[in-house]
Every structure is written in C-alpha cells, then in structure tokens.
Amino acid sequence: MADKLRTQQQLESLQNKYIGTGHADTTKHEWTSNIARDSYASYQGHPPLLHYMSIGTGQCMERTRMACMEGMVLPVGPAPQTED
C-alpha cells in the first residue's frame, strides 16, 4: 500500500514539475490542448520557423509570435461539458 502511495506521490510531483505529464483520467481535451500548446511554443522558439510563417502570412514576426502566444490560451476551445 505504501508503495502505491509513493508512486502516486512521485507521479504528482512529476505532473507538477512537467506540464503535460498524463494521468489515468487524461481527457482528450487536455491531451490535445497540451500538444497544441507545445507546438505553439515550438513555433516561436525556433526563429527560422517563425520567420517562415511570417513571410507566408505577410506580417511581421512579432505579430506571428503574438498569434502563437494567443493560440496557447485556449488552443482547442473550451473543455467539453462534463456529465455530472
């Protein structure tokens, strides 16, 4: 029983430290949000990629960066209604 508790604690500390660490009840919404946020973070983190997108959309890199940041707020829409 103690073992189980420790595993639980370890998992919780991991979830706290690293956003996106899943758990048994991860919903589709959580999972897809995480992926979308990771992608948006990656787009702005790689300067050539941000540059590429900015040229494609015909705007400055700062605007593209803000669009990526804004996308991270609610990347796949609000969470679906829970049943209970």
Partner 1 sequence: MSNTQQTQAFYSLTLEPPSAVTAAVTCNAIPGLKTADQQIFEARGQRIYLHRIVENEDRTVIKLSTVVEQDVFGIVRGVAAFRIPGTPIDQLIVSSDSGRIALLNYDSAKNAFKRVHLETFGKSGIRRTIPGQYLANDPRGRCCMLASVEKNKVVYIVNRNAEAEVVISSPHEANQWASLCFGICALDTGWEHPIFAALEVDYNEAESDPSGAMYEQREKQLVYYTVDLGLNHVVKSWTDAVDYTANIMFGVPGGQDGPSGVLVCCEDRIYYRHDKTSPLCIPIPRRKGPTEDPNRKRIIVSGCLHLQKSRHEFFFLLQTEDGDVFKFTMEMAKDAQDRPTMEPVRLHMKYYDTYPPAKQMLLIRKGYIYVAAENGNSKLYHVNDLAEDPEVEPHNNFTSDGVSSDPAATYEPTYFTPRGLTFTSLAYDVPGLNPLMRTKVDNLTGEDAPQIYAIQGTGNSSVLKTMRHGLEINEIVSSPLGNLQYDNLWSLKHRAVDDYHSYLLLSSGYGDKTIVLSIGDEVETMENSPFLTNRATITANQMGDATLVQVHARGILSVLESGALNEWPAPAHRTIVAASSNDRQLLLGLSSSELAFFFMGDDGVLNQLEEMPEMSGKITALSVGQTPRGQQQAKYAVVGCDDCTIRVYSIELETALEPRSVQALSAVPTSIEVVEMLDPSSNVLVNYVHIGLQSGLYLRAVIDDVTGELGEVRTRFLGARPTRIFPVEIAEEQGIVASSSRPWLGYNNKGTYTLTPLVTGQVEAARPFVTEHLRGFCAVQGQSLLIFTLPTTDGRLSSSEVGLKYTPRAMTRHPYSPVWYVAQSDGNTLAQGTKDQLLSADGAMNGVDEDVSKQLGLSRSAGHWASCIQAVDPIFAKAATHTIEFTDNEAALCCAAVPFESKNWEVYLAVGTGQHLRPGVSAKGQAPRGYVHIYKLLEDGRNMELVHKTPFDAPIYAVHAFQGRLALGVGADLFLYDVGLKSLLRKSRGTVVANTITSIDSRGNRLICADVSESITYVVFKPKHNRMIGFVDDVIQRWTTTAAMIDYETSAGGDKFGNLWVVRCPEQASKESDEEGLGGYIVNERSYLGGAPYRLELRSHFFTQDIPMSIQRTALVAGGQEVLFWSGLQGTLGMLVPFVSREDVEFFTQLETLIRAEEPPLAGRDHLMYRSYYVPVKGVIDGDLCERFMKLSFDGKQKIAAEVEREVKEVERKVQEMRTRVAF
The answer to whether 78 contacts partner 1 (rule: CB under 8 A) is yes
Map residues 36-65 to x or -, x wherever contact with partner 1 holds by CB under 8 A.
-xx-xxx-xxxxxx-xxxxxxxxxxxxxxx
Among 2, 80, 83, 84, binds partner 1 (CB under 8 A): 80
Q: Rounded CA gap, 34 and 20, in Å?
A: 6
Positions in the binding site for partner 1 (CB under 8 A)? 16, 18-20, 33, 37-38, 40-42, 44-49, 51-67, 69, 72-74, 77-82
